Structure 1
């Protein structure tokens, strides 16, 4: 794993990891909430064996990326394009996990000449679709309903502490998730990526979930590249209807439902999904 950063055109820092095979087929991965650029570190060797090179940037306010007050979901593709320019990538696939899912859809919509394919893994859909609220993990839904960035930070500080130290996944987990976290190395990696997300405090997470609740200001119906929505049917955090709805919004999108997987265990399927996307 290689850890790096760049300076964006507006002076902000964008931190990212580089995992897999140097010279491999390029994929940009967008982390969940609250996780970070470190999500895929446990699969570094597997990605390398598959001939994939995955770059994973921290969104603003997470990890080592500079905060961007008032940011919008549709601001992200410009950061991604700047990163791709730095890396010399003309075309690439994108994969977004959980809260990172909408960012993959945004990039596939707004960077049509550069994004070759997109994967949405246990991804959140457009929350203006009323059924999307049914079954979402209780605390995440409550935070989304706060609606204001500053108030959301106060909400998080009260519950998790200013540094996020009191954050825990909470709720019930699928058996597959519990099995994944029963592996000491995987548990340590998950603890690390969540901890890194709070490097600058809870602000990045509070903002991310606030942005997540807003309408998508882009039209996924414009996407003309392959899109796969991958979701575990045992997911207790984000219901499968989210992936079904996202797939309905994108012409020709495929949905891949895995009966046993939960919200965490589905991460282990990202390498294979990425390989299929670049193929």
Structure 2
């Protein structure tokens, strides 16, 4: 399957009150309907999705780089809540009020944090990382992933220092490919796709591994915003052939029961690349909800 990839139409930044730079990229018309996008692990805002769907649906897709990744400066106090404040500052600077948001893979807890801070009007979680430290979910984890959750709980700072010393963009790419189902590797291994994905990861590590490593520990800890408190509509999208051990161990079944207004879409014959294979469907559904 050949997918259309497009470079951002615009790349911008603002300065926060503490002087930190927060950068973001956009696709689509500047007058389009705003939709936020929270990227996966170590990915930056240079790598988007759904170029044709964005044009057809009149979407203005905005992706704000998390602190320490891409166009955003590091933040020693980075948290899920601080990310929400950065995004809120970007939206305020653009005159945008409560757009819907898509959270892909490790971007899922960041999208949930935006909902918890009343920044967005609806959420789509696509092949999303679950709240892995949530006790019922934790019992279903692969032993290696459960071990990471435990190590972060015991000593987050020590884990971050140790992990940062042995992770880089190429190693993460190799891990992503190793954990991917054949259906996903067929997409990720396409030359144009893999080049864009790997470039995004390289940009994610350009300021050092700290931004990604902090994202990892935040995502693998208990989420400060619990799904049960989210009042906006949430749609969850999973392919049941997704073999990533750091997504949802039961393809969103438990997670979907925790959101008061949730709809679960599960596809038995697809993997985790739904963000690219079902872009139009995901965006269309989200626009209706938001």
Normalised by the size of structure 2, how large is the TM-score? 0.85
Cα offsets for 1:42-77 (capped at 9, x unmatched) = 533431222111100111111121112242223322
- Determine the C-alpha separation between the residues in 1 that align with 2:76 and 2:184: 34
Residues 270, 156 of structure 1: alpha-carbon distance in 2 compared, 3 angstrom cutoff: farther
Contact 1:119 1:227 in 2 (8 A): yes
Contact 2:169 2:201 in 1 (8 A): no
Residues 198, 145 of structure 1: alpha-carbon distance in 2 compared, 3 angstrom cutoff: farther
2:284 matched residue in structure 1: 275
Residue 116 of structure 1, aligned match among 104, 121, 132: 121
Alignment of 1:180-259 (within 5 A): 180-237=187-244, 238-241=247-250, 243-259=252-268
TM-superposed CA distance for 1:261, in Å, is: 2.5
- Determine the C-alpha separation between the residues in 1 that align with 2:228 and 2:65: 27
- The answer to whether the aligner puts 1:126 opposite 2:131 as a matched pair is yes
TM-superposed CA distance for 1:6, in Å, is: 1.2
- The answer to whether the aligner puts 1:8 opposite 2:28 as a matched pair is no
- Determine the C-alpha separation between the residues in 2 that align with 1:223 and 1:166: 35
Contact 1:119 1:273 in 2 (8 A): yes
Cα offsets for 1:162-185 (capped at 9, x unmatched) = x54443332342122111023221
Q: Which deviates more from structure 2 when the two are superposed, residues 260-269 or residues 207-216?
A: 260-269
How many residues were matched structurally?
274
Q: Which runs of 5+ in 1 are unaligned?
A: none
RMSD between aligned alpha carbons?
A: 2.3
- Determine the C-alpha separation between the residues in 2 that align with 1:182 and 1:99: 20
Contact 2:125 2:235 in 1 (8 A): yes
